[in-house]
Structures are given as C-alpha cells and as structure tokens.
Amino acid sequence: MSIPVSWYLIVSAIIFTVGVTGVLIRRNPLIIFMSIELMLNAVNLSFVAFSRFLDSVDGQMFVFLVLTVAAAEVVVGLAIIVSIFRTRRDIDVDDMNVLRG
Amino acid sequence: MIDFQLVSFFVLAVATVAAAIGVITFRNAVHSALSLILTLLFLALFYLQLGAMFIAVVQILIYAGAIMVLFLFVVTMLASEARDTESPDRIPWQRGIAATLGLILVGALSYLLFTGTAIDASAKASGANSLSLVVKTQGDTQAFGLALFHGFAFPFEVTSLLIVVALLGAMVLGRKG
C-alpha cells in the first residue's frame, strides 16, 4: 500500500511546531536560528510530499529555492550574531534591546 | 507480510521528530547542532522515499554539509567564551505561554489537516507536465533540470543576485571596526 499524503503533512506539522516552540522557549540566538531551520525543513517536507502526490516537479523547485534562500539567510544571520557577540561579549536574546553596534 | 515502505515511514517519522525535539531541548548548543544535522539527514531519507533523488542529495550536500559546517563553526567559536548554561530566566511565564501557543498551533494545524479537501485525481498534473512520465523517460535529475531552466529560469537567476547580496552582507558585517 502507498502512504497517504496526509501522513507526511502530519510529520511536517509536528516538526514545524517543534521549531516554533524552540523559537519561543530558547534564549540562545544560535539555537533560535536552528529552530528556524527546522521550520524551513518542515515546509520543505510538505513541498516534496505534494510534488510526489500531485505528480508535478514544481514542489521540488520550491524546495531548491528555499535551500538557496536558507543558505543566504544563515550566512547573514550568523554574521550578525558574531558581530553582536564581538561588541557585547554575551549572547542572550533577553539582553538584546538595542540595534546600535 | 509487513510492508517495508510503511515500516520505514514510521521509523523515519519517529527518528526525525525525536531529533527535532533534541534540537530545542539540549542545553549545549553543539549538541543541538549535531541533533539538527541528524534531523536533516532523516529528512533527506524522507525525500528519497518520496522519489526526489536530486533534492535528497542536495539536502545532504548543502544543508547537512555546508550550512551545518557554518553553524558548528560559529557555535564552537562563540562557545569557548560564552557561558555553558543559560542565565536564569527573567521572564518566568515564558515557557508556559510558549507551551500553550505550541499546543494551539498543533490544534490549528491538525484541524486544517483533517478538515481540508482531499487531493483528488483532477488536481494531478497530466501529459507533458507529469513528473512520473518525465522521470520514466528521461530521469529524475533531468526532469528537475528541465523545469529549472525552462519554467523557473527567472527565479534561478534572481537567486544568484541574492547570494551575491548575502556574500557582501556577511563581509560588511564581519569586517573589523
């Protein structure tokens, strides 16, 4: 038997929720960043599942573009975190309340 | 006889969710990063199961390879100077609120999943757009490449601009002074 598409969507929804919860409860910006990656990947799983069950390649194209955007986002985000750490010597999102460098 | 596809789906689903929960529960950021690599590898196996070979390989190369190396590099660079444990919480109700909001999200998503319209045969692509047909006649990566350089040529070119901007941004943010 083949696995229905909704099962993949349920796994995707669970991973997405884990990512959202991670963003809400953690205060280390690196782990918050990893939770954002979790959310992106949860959506990617939905895209690939839909691509399979709608028999169209478009879902895989979106995953490819999401991968590229995620790579760019990680590069800029980590550069910002390193730059914050260089000026403040401490990384805790509760302490970050100024945008000045 | 037990269905191999079904068993592998459940094993993968449990492993992926467990690794994802590990990402947000480990105290040490390096452990979280390793757990995230595990999650990404399991997701690549999901993609293989769904027949998206090229995406699975790209997932391992770019995500589990390039992006996570960058993550681990920054984590280890900052971890040597930062404290091991997080400082005591200044917002005591944060976790309760976060758990409540997470449960609401689970409820909303499962409501949408179980009340939405099912995909029927009419929604499927047909004729020349059919993925399975192209995969059967030409191959998986060929099907992907055809779509990338025909239907998605413009987004693909915009992506290169985005990467240049990200490169410049990282250099500007990373320079001294």
Among the partner residues A53, A60, A63, nearest to B119 by beta-carbon distance: A53
Kindly list the structural domains of chain A, giving each domain's residue range(s) and its CATH number in brackets, ordered by start: 5-88 (1.10.287.3510)
The CA distances from residue B3 to A51, B8, B82, in Å, are: 23, 9, 49
The pLDDT confidence band at residue B96, using thresholds 50, 70 and 90, is: confident
> What per-residue confidence (pLDDT) applies to B65?
87
Strands (E), chain A: none
Q: What pTM was estimated for this model as a whole?
A: 0.88
pLDDT beyond 70 at B80: no
Tell me the shortest Cα–Cα distance from A47 to chain B, in angstroms: 10
Long-range contacts of B25-30 (CB under 8 A, 24+ apart): B27/B84, B27/B85, B27/B86, B28/B79, B28/B84, B29/A28, B29/A30, B29/A31, B29/B75, B29/B78, B29/B79, B30/B72, B30/B75, B30/B76, B30/B79
Express each pLDDT in A9-44 by its tens digit: 989 999 999 999 999 888 888 999 999 999 999 999
CA distance B67 to chain A (A): 6
Q: What is the average pLDDT score of chain A?
A: 87
CA atoms within 13 Å, Cβ hemisphere of B100: 5
Segment B45-63, tens digit of pLDDT: 999 999 889 999 999 999 8
Task: Tell me which of B121 and A101 has the higher pLDDT.
Answer: B121
State how far the Cα of B118 lies from the Cα of A60, in Å rounded to an integer: 21
What share of chain B in percent tops pLDDT 70?
86
Q: What is the pLDDT of residue A28?
A: 86
A96 part of contact set with chain B, CB < 8 Å:
no
Burial (0-12, 13-18, 19+ Cβ within 10 Å), B93 = exposed
Indicate yes or no: CB of A13 within 8 angstroms of CB of B95. Answer: no
Cβ separation of A60 and B144 shorter than 8 Å? yes
